[in-house]
A and B are shown apart, each in its own frame.
Chain A
C-alpha cells in the first residue's frame, strides 16, 4: 500500500508541473497585452512599456514562467495588477469558501445518487428503474446557473425563505452560513448527481447479479441488509472513481455559482482575473483549483485501493 501511495505521489508532482505549463501557456501564448487591459485604451506606449517592464512582461515567455514558478514554489503568487496587493493571502482566505461549497454540493449529489441509484438497480427493468433513469437524464440536462436562477425565483423572490446571496463564515454564524450555502450547493449538487446516479445503478446491477448476493437473498436476508450491508461496499469502488471525476467537474460550476450567489471564493477571483485581465489573480486561482482537483483524485485513488487491494497489486505490477 505504501508503495502504491508513493507511486501515485511520484506521478502527482510531474503532472502538477505539466499543469502549470499548460496553464501558463494558455494564458500567455496568445497576443494581446495585459498592460493595455490594465491601463485602458488611452494608455501611452511609454506607460505600457513601463508597466510591462515593472511586471516582467517584456521578458521571454520561458523566463517569465521560470521566475513565476520559482516564486509560486516559495508560496509567493505575485501581486494583483489592478489592486497591487499580494494574491496569496487573498487566495487562501477564499479557498475555505470554495471548498465548503464544493464539499456541501458533493454531499448533496451523493445523498441523491446513492439511495436512488441503489433503488433503480434493485428495481432493474421495472417502472421505478425507468423513472429514476428519466430523473437522472432530466437532472443531467439542467444548466446549473438556470437551476440557481429558478431556486432564487422560488425560495427568495416568491417564498422569501432564503437570502439571495452573500457569505458569512461558519465560525461566525453557523445557521446563517448554512442558509446562504443551501441554494448554491443544491444548484451544483443536483446537476452532479445525474451521472453519479447512473454509475451507482450500473455498479449495483453488476453486484446484484453476483453469486454472493444471490446466496444472501436465498438465505432469507432482508432487502435492506442485502442492499446496504452486502452490495453497496463493492459497488462503491467504481463509483468512487467516477465520483472523483464528478468532483472535478463540479469545480467548473463553482466559478459560475459563486458569481451568482456573491460567494467570495476562488472561482469568483478567477472570474475577476479574466474580466480585468489580471494574470497573477487568474493564474493563482486556476492553479489552486487544479491542485485541489488533482489532490481529490489522489485521495480517491488511495481510498479506492484500500477498498479493493487488487488495484494496488495491478498498479504495483505485483
Chain B
C-alpha cells in the first residue's frame, strides 16, 4: 500500500491534514488561542489597522478581527461536521437500500435524487432555508440535505459492486439478516470512497455556509462567521481593507486544505483515479 506514496501525494495529505488539524484546534480551543473577546465592542479602537495589540486590526465596532476569525472557525467546522454527517447518514441509508433492494424502490429514490440535482446546490440550500427560517441550525440542515444525493449515488454505485462479491452470496446463504448484511458486511467495504467524498464535502460545506451567512441566511450578527465578516467588511473597504481580506483568506485556506486532504486520500487509496 505504501508504495503508492510519492512526494505529491504526501504533500497533499500533509498540507490538507495540517490545515484540517489547525482548523479543528481553532474550533476547539479558540478562547485559549486568543485572549480577546470576539464580541466585545470598543468604540475607541474602531477600524484600527493590524498592530501588536490587534494582529489583524479591528472592525467598525472596535472588535478584534483575529479573535473573530478564530472563533468563526468553530462555526464553520461545526456546520461542516453536522452537514456532512446528515449527508452521509441520509446518503448511506438511501444508497445502500437502493442497491440492495433494487427494483421500484431503487428507481423511486434515484429519480428523486435526480430531481434534487436539477437545482444548483446553493440555490436549493437557499430554498430550504426559506422554508426552515434563517438560523445556524437550519443552515446545517439545509446544507446536509443538499449533500444527500451525492453520497446516495456514491454509496449505491459502490455497494452494487460489493453486492456482486462471493462473500455476500455466502453471507446470504447462511441467513445473515438484512441490517447486519448492509451495515456490517457492505458498509465497511464502501467506507473509503465515502470518506474521500466526506473530506471534499467538508470543503463545500464551508463554502456554502459562508455564502449563506454572507447573504444573511446563516449565522446572524454579531455572531462571528466568515461569511458575515466579509459582508460587514464590504462597507469599509476603503478605510479597512483587512476586514474583507482576512475572513475570505480563512475560507480560502480551509477549503483548499479540505480539498487537498480529499485529493490526497483519493490518491492514496486509489492511485488510478489521479488523472
A-to-B contact residues, CB < 8 Å: 15, 18-19, 21-23, 26-30, 32, 130, 137-138, 140-143, 145-146, 149-150, 152-153, 157, 202, 205, 248-253, 255-256, 259-260, 270-271, 273-275, 277, 282, 286, 289-290, 293-294
**B121 contacts the other chain (CB 8 A):** yes
State the Cβ distance, A162 to closest chain B Cβ, in Å. Answer: 14
The answer to whether A293 touches B132 (Cβ under 8 A) is no
The answer to whether B211 touches A274 (Cβ under 8 A) is no
Highest count of chain A CB atoms <10 Å: which of B8, B116, B207: B207
* Binary interface encoding of chain B residues 226-269 relative to chain A, with 1 for a CB under 8 A from any of its CBs, else 0: 01001001100110010011001001100110011001000000
- Please name 13 further chain A to chain B contacts, defined as beta carbons within 8 Å, in addition to the given A143-B211, A255-B122, sorted by A numbering: A15-B114, A26-B128, A27-B130, A28-B131, A130-B8, A149-B237, A149-B248, A150-B248, A255-B215, A256-B211, A260-B234, A270-B123, A289-B123
CA distance A260 to B133 in the complex (A): 22
Known: A149-B233, A150-B245. A140 touches B118 (CB 8 A): no
* Binary interface encoding of chain B residues 208-220 relative to chain A, with 1 for a CB under 8 A from any of its CBs, else 0: 0011001111000
Taking CB atoms, residues of chain B closer than 8 Å to A152 are 234, 237
CA distance A273 to B215 in the complex (A): 13
Taking CB atoms, residues of chain A closer than 8 Å to B127 are 23, 26-27, 274, 282, 286
The answer to whether B238 touches A252 (Cβ under 8 A) is no
The answer to whether B131 touches A141 (Cβ under 8 A) is no
CA distance A30 to B121 in the complex (A): 19
Secondary structure at the B interface, as helix, strand, loop or mixed, is helix
CA distance A29 to B131 in the complex (A): 7
Taking CB atoms, residues of chain B closer than 8 Å to A153 are 237, 241, 244-245
Taking CB atoms, residues of chain A closer than 8 Å to B227 are 145
The answer to whether B118 touches A293 (Cβ under 8 A) is yes
CA distance A137 to B115 in the complex (A): 29
The answer to whether A22 touches B237 (Cβ under 8 A) is no
The answer to whether A142 touches B252 (Cβ under 8 A) is yes
Q: Which of B120, B129, B234 is A149 in contact with, Cβ under 8 Å?
A: B234
Secondary structure at the A interface, as helix, strand, loop or mixed, is helix
CA distance A48 to B121 in the complex (A): 33
Known: A146-B230, A153-B237. A256 touches B122 (CB 8 A): yes
The answer to whether A143 touches B248 (Cβ under 8 A) is yes
Q: Which of A256, A277, A282, A290 is B118 in contact with, Cβ under 8 Å?
A: A290
Taking CB atoms, residues of chain B closer than 8 Å to A286 are 119, 123, 127
CA distance A274 to B215 in the complex (A): 11
Taking CB atoms, residues of chain B closer than 8 Å to A248 are 120
Q: Which of B124, B234, B241, B256 is A141 in contact with, Cβ under 8 Å?
A: B256
Taking CB atoms, residues of chain B closer than 8 Å to A282 are 127, 130
What are 17 A-B residue pairs whose CB atoms fall within 8 Å in the complex?
A: A19-B118, A19-B119, A22-B119, A27-B131, A29-B131, A137-B260, A142-B252, A145-B230, A146-B248, A149-B237, A150-B248, A152-B237, A250-B120, A252-B121, A259-B215, A274-B217, A275-B216
CA distance A146 to B260 in the complex (A): 20
- Looking across the interface, which residue of chain B has its beta carbon closest to that of A291? B118
- Looking across the interface, which residue of chain B has its beta carbon closest to that of A142? B252
CA distance A185 to B242 in the complex (A): 24
Known: A146-B251, A153-B237, A282-B130. A293 touches B230 (CB 8 A): no
**B84 contacts the other chain (CB 8 A):** no
State the Cβ distance, A196 to closest chain B Cβ, in Å. Answer: 16
The answer to whether A143 touches B237 (Cβ under 8 A) is no
